[in-house]
Structure 1
C-alpha cells in the first residue's frame, strides 16, 4: 500500500520510493535486491490493523492491508490460533472486530516488490510475505 514504510539498506523508505536495484532487508536472507516494482489500483477486500494490536509495537502505526496479504505472527496468536510458534497467515484470518477490522471492498493502491523468490520483509512495522506468484484475482479499479 502507498506510504507503507519498508526497511531497506538506506533505512525506512516509503514503498512508492523504492526502485529496482535498491535492497530491502528480509527476515531470512538479509539484504535482497529488488528486481522490479509494480503498482496497481485494484478493488480488494481491505483489513485495517490498529497500531500495537499484534504486539507492543506491531504494527508501529495503523495500517490497511489487502485481506490476502500474508503476515508472519510469532506470538501467542500463532500458538492459540494455529498450534505453532509462528505462522504465516492472511491478514483476514486475524480479524477480531475490534482492533483488526474487515473494511470490506475498497480501491487499494498496491505495490509488489519482485525479489526473485518469496521473502518475508519488514513493512509497516510488520513482517509480511512477498508474493510467491502473481495474484490472479485482481480486478482493475474503475
Structure 2
C-alpha cells in the first residue's frame, strides 16, 4: 500500500509488573504465572512506536527472550517504547488470564529491553508493563491465574491497546455556521462546545492507519445514543453521557465513556478493513463538541497524547502549550472500563 511511516499505539489499562505479586512474592514474567495473583497501586500508560507493516511482535519466536532482528533499532519493523526519556526496544511476550471466579481478564505481558542489548533477560525487563485489554481488574484483590491464551508471532501490539482520541473522516462537527466535515476544519475555525459556546481550534492533525484490531474505528449507529447519523470515532474517543445512573453510581450527572467500552451496547460495533483517517481537534481547554447530535471530547494534550502522535505533531502541540500542567482539567470524569460496564448494567 505504500505505507512505511511509524505507527503509534497508545495503551491505557496498564500497570508495571513490579506492582504485582504471585503467592505473595514478586513475579518473574519470563514464565507464565500460576497461583494467586494480585496487584496494587494506580494504573499508568505507555506508547509503542512501530514501523508500519510489522508482522512479528513477540521476539525471536522460540522462547521470546530475544528481540527479533526485524524489531530492533533499524529493523524493518522496529518497535520501541520510551522509558525515562530513552527509546527502548520492546516486545509483546504472551497473554495469560486472571479470574475472580466470575469475571476473567486477559493480561498482556510486555517486555522492555531496558539496556537495548537485544534480549529481555536482564532484571526488571520481563513483564515491565502489564496490559489489561478487557479493562482493569480490581486492585488489592486475590485473583487466580489461568493459562496462556496468546503466544504467537502474529498477534500485534494493537490487539492489546488503543489509540489517541480522534474523529474519523466524514464526521460532522457543529460550528456557528452549521455542521462541517472534520476533514474540512482548519486551525482557527470555530466549533461549538458544550459549556463555553464557540471556541477556536488551536491545532488539528490527522493520522491514517489500517482499520484492524484495536485501531479499527467504533461506529455508534444512528439513534443509539440519540445521534441522528452514524458517529465513527477511534476506540479511545470518549462520549459524554448524561444519565441518572451515573449520578447514582458515581455522583456525577455527566460522565465520559470511551467508545470501546460501549461495544456491548446494541448499535455499537467495530468497522474493520481498509484504511481509516483519524482527525485530532485541540482547543484551548478540554471540551466536548457536538457531532451528529451527541457530545464527545476533544483532544486532551497529556503525556500519553504527546507520545502517541508523530514527532512533528508533538512539536507543534508543545509549541502551542509549553506548560501542559496549566492546560486544565478534563471536561468531565472519564469512566474506566469496569465502571462503564456497571453503568450499562444498572
Bin for the TM-score computed over the shorter chain? 0.7 to 0.9
Q: Deviations over 1:89-117 (max 9, x none)?
A: 10111122531123468742111112122
The runs of 5 or more residues in structure 1 that have no matched partner are: none
SS of the residue aligned with 1:72? Answer: strand
SS of the residue aligned with 1:52? Answer: coil
For normalisation by structure 1, the TM-score amounts to: 0.80
SS of the residue aligned with 2:216? Answer: strand
Contact 1:24 1:32 in 2 (8 A): yes
Contact 2:224 2:266 in 1 (8 A): no
CA RMSD of aligned residues (A): 2.5
Please state if 1:74 is matched with 2:242.
Answer: yes
1:92 to 250, 260, 268: 260
The runs of 5 or more residues in structure 2 that have no matched partner are: 1-167, 311-346
**How many Å separate the matches in 2 of 1:106 and 1:137?**
21
Structure ranking higher in helix proportion: 2
Mark the structure with the bigger radius of gyration.
Answer: 2
1:77–1:101: structure 2 CA closer, same or farther, 3 Å change rule?
Answer: farther
User: Could you tell me how far 1:64 is from its partner in structure 2?
Assistant: 2.0
1:106–1:90: structure 2 CA closer, same or farther, 3 Å change rule?
Answer: farther
1:46 to 207, 217, 230: 217
Aligned residue number for residue 108 of structure 1 = 276
Please state if 1:15 is matched with 2:182.
Answer: yes
Structure ranking higher in strand proportion: 1
SS of the residue aligned with 1:110? Answer: strand
Q: Deviations over 1:40-92 (max 9, x none)?
A: 112413212111111xxx22112222110010011356458766422111011
For normalisation by structure 2, the TM-score amounts to: 0.36
Aligned residue number for residue 30 of structure 1 = 197
1:6–1:59: structure 2 CA closer, same or farther, 3 Å change rule?
Answer: same
**How many Å separate the matches in 2 of 1:2 and 1:66?**
11
SS of the residue aligned with 2:276? Answer: strand
SS of the residue aligned with 1:42? Answer: strand
**How many Å separate the matches in 1 of 2:291 and 2:300?**
17
Greater relative contact order (Cα 8 A, min sep 6): structure 1 or 2? 1
1:91–1:78: structure 2 CA closer, same or farther, 3 Å change rule?
Answer: farther
Please state if 1:64 is matched with 2:235.
Answer: no
